[in-house]
């Protein structure tokens, strides 16, 4: 653990390329991780929501994590997600993340049972750490109740801090609600509070937020880094306006498949267009519509570096 000071910045929630058999394309993912880090992302979070983390087994993700590191992606710049309600799979993933020397783990609450209560979630973490043999890795709490149905509420965060102390390093708040993020900053000044939303990031940063862990840096990493450095600066006003329009165009037309389609255009790698069922590829008509909307924000994927 290295503390809140270095737990900040733009973190790309990386999409995951797959082959025709829906296996993780580690080489393509490694090149993408290097690309977004070169564009200024401090860390990369693999196998989260944007990375289709719930569509892969822990064994698949552990093998891919090992492959990324062997391909030269620095382990200490990776924040893999744990996206399973299965205790044994979650523990296997956490153990692998810690042994690899990753910066932290992003932990989704166990999402099948809708009302386990704070005590139940604390018990899950207790068993998770014990079974994984985890002793020192920082944990980020992944708050996305629109998917998990369980929120990391202030009372739950307080209970986790009381039990696990500094092991709880921060929160990724993917509610898209600025007031929720601001309330977390006020209640937990010792934690790194990230948003998952480009539109929330500037005002959250001005109040002490850590930055963003989000999907849009897959396409716009350098712009997000500029905005983080000057969240209310005159020189980033256009970028802030573009960010809002871009996320509306992407999320309003399917989200993840849009990002993958744009990456296929940017890189010339058609494999990016695949997603694991039940997700699918972006229809051509939708891609045309998105391209037109993004072009109005200066985006030209066919000529992107």
**CB-count burial class (<10 Å; 0-12, 13-18, 19+) for 206:** exposed
Nearest to 14 by CA among 78, 76, 67, 105: 78
Tell me which of 3.20.20.70, 3.50.50.60, 3.90.470.20, 3.40.50.1820 is the CATH number of domain 4-231: 3.20.20.70
Please state, in angstroms and rounded to a whole number, the distance separating the CA atoms of residues 278 and 182. Answer: 35
Sheet holding 211-214, edge to edge: 43-45, 9-13, 211-214, 192-195, 168-173, 138-143, 104-107, 81-82
Please state, as a whole number, how many other Cβ atoms lie within 10 Å of the Cβ of residue 152: 25
- Regions of the chain where pLDDT drops below 50: 1-2, 305
Are 64 and 55 a contacting pair, CB within 8 Å?
no
Are 200 and 228 a contacting pair, CB within 8 Å?
no
The pTM (predicted TM-score) of the whole model is 0.95
Domain ranges, ordered by start, for the chain: 4-231
Specify the pLDDT at position 61. Answer: 98
Instruction: For 229-247, give the secondary structure using H, E and C.
Output: HCCCCHHHHHHHHHHHHHH
Please state, in angstroms and rounded to a whole number, the distance separating the CA atoms of residues 294 and 94. Answer: 37
Instruction: Tell me the per-residue pLDDT of 66-103, one tens digit each, with 9 for 90 and over.
Output: 999 999 999 999 999 999 999 999 999 999 999 999 99
CA distances 44 to 25, 87, 166, 174, Å, are 16, 24, 22, 16
Specify the pLDDT at position 178. Answer: 97
DSSP label at residue 136: S
């Amino acid at each position: 653990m290295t503390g809140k000071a270095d737990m900040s910045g733009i973190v790309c929630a990386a999409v995951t390329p797959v082959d025709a058999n829906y296996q993780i394309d580690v080489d393509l993912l490694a090149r993408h991780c290097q690309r977004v880090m070169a564009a200024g992302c401090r860390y990369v979070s693999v196998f989260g929501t944007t990375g289709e983390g719930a569509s892969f087994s822990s064994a698949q993700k552990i093998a891919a994590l090992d492959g990324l590191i062997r391909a030269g992606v620095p382990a200490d710049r990776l924040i893999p997600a744990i996206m399973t309600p299965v205790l044994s799979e979650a523990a296997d993933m956490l153990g692998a993340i810690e042994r690899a020397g990753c910066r932290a783990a992003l932990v989704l609450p166990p999402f099948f049972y809708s009302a386990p209560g704070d005590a139940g979630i604390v018990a899950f973490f207790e068993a998770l750490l014990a079974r994984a043999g985890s002793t020192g890795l920082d944990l980020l709490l992944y708050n996305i109740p629109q998917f998990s149905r369980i929120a990391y509420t202030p009372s739950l965060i307080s209970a986790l801090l009381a039990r696990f102390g500094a092991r709880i390093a921060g929160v990724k708040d993917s509610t898209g609600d600025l007031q929720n993020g601001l309330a977390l900053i006020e209640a937990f000044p010792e934690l790194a509070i990230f948003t998952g939303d480009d539109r929330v990031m500037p005002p959250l940063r001005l109040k002490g937020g850590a930055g963003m862990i989000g999907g849009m840096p897959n396409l716009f990493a350098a712009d997000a880094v500029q905005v983080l450095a000057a969240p209310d600066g005159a020189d980033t006003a256009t970028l802030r306006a573009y960010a809002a329009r871009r996320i509306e165009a992407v999320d309003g037309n399917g989200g993840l498949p849009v990002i993958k389609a744009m990456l296929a255009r940017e890189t010339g790698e058609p494999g990016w267009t695949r997603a694991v069922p039940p997700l699918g590829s972006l229809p051509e008509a939708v891609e045309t519509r998105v391209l037109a909307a993004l072009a109005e924000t200066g985006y030209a994927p066919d000529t992107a570096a």
